Amino acid sequence: MSGTLYLVATPIGNLEDMSFRAVRTLKEVDLIACEDTRTSRTLLSHFEIKTPVTSYHEFNKFEKADELLDALSSGKNIALITDAGTPGISDPGEELVAMAFERGLEVIPIPGACAFVNAAISSAQSVRRIAFEAFLPKDKKERQRIMSELKDETRTIVIYEAPHHLKKTLTELSEVLGGSRSLTLVRELTKKFEEKRKTTFDEALSFFEENDPRGEYVLVIEGKSKEEQRAEQTEQFSDLSIEEHVLHYINEEGMDKKSAMKAAAKDRGVSKRDIYAALNK
């Protein structure tokens, strides 16, 4: 019988957020794979968990994964934990889970703390649809590509950022999304200095000119509004005549004339009757 890989969520600051199930699981498994064994020992010691530990992190994730998967295949149960939060989100746990599935091994999540979820639900931003970006890429070209995609994102955007990179990231996002775009800055979740600041990019950048960022941040950013979309569409077609506008949809989008007229009317904020009248002068 093969063993089971447990993905155990751990507190992101407050140790009281550790669940009974998580503690029991960590005590019962044969091995705990930690992102940083030194960091995890504080948690394990607090709950008197004496299970053997081993390191599993970004720099050994492939070679160590084979070792862990072999142990699982031999019947051992293993728990994966990160320094804080839920494994598999912005850490190498994602690769381990994919490799475990390829081998047909069982993977069971043990729910618990998750920074982006808790930041989003307490941000006063819409959470019906969310685009979670975690940390933006460091590679310049990849970062620019992601920024370009975010420009037209209508869902609420959630991004992680460290304090020493916060001003740069806010500046870049402001240039792409606009300084008046609403966002909520959430920092130090579950910790002593937990804070939520609903603001705009312009206001946030002004604030950090006089105040140094402190703690780990989650940025919860309003998506592009319908008003912004309509304004951009209106500007896009403002140089076209009504006839050219309708032909655009017929020739470029393959629409029939009736559908093209309806689309043009919507873009211009007028009725289809107005479009019909303009075409039949």
- The pLDDT tens digits for 12-39 are 999 999 999 999 999 999 999 999 999 9
Question: d(Cα 221, Cα 115) in Å, to the nearest integer?
Answer: 15
Is the predicted pLDDT of residue 233 greater than 80, yes or no? Answer: no
pLDDT class for 232, splitting at 50, 70, 90?
Answer: low
Domains, the chain, with CATH or none: 4-113 (3.40.1010.10), 116-224 (3.30.950.10), 227-279 (no CATH)
Tokens of 3: 């063993």
Question: What are the E-state strand segments in the chain?
Answer: 4-8, 31-34, 53-55, 78-81, 106-110, 130-135, 156-161, 182-187, 195-200, 217-221
Q: Please give the model's pTM, rounded to 2 decimal places.
A: 0.81
Q: In whole angstroms, how far apart are CA 112 and each of 59, 75, 268?
A: 26, 26, 48
Is the predicted pLDDT of residue 40 greater than 90, yes or no? Answer: yes
Residue with token string 């655009």: 248
43-82 per-position pLDDT tens digit: 999 999 999 999 999 899 889 999 999 999 999 999 999 9
158-186 per-position pLDDT tens digit: 999 999 999 999 999 999 999 999 999 99
- Amino acid 234: pLDDT: 65
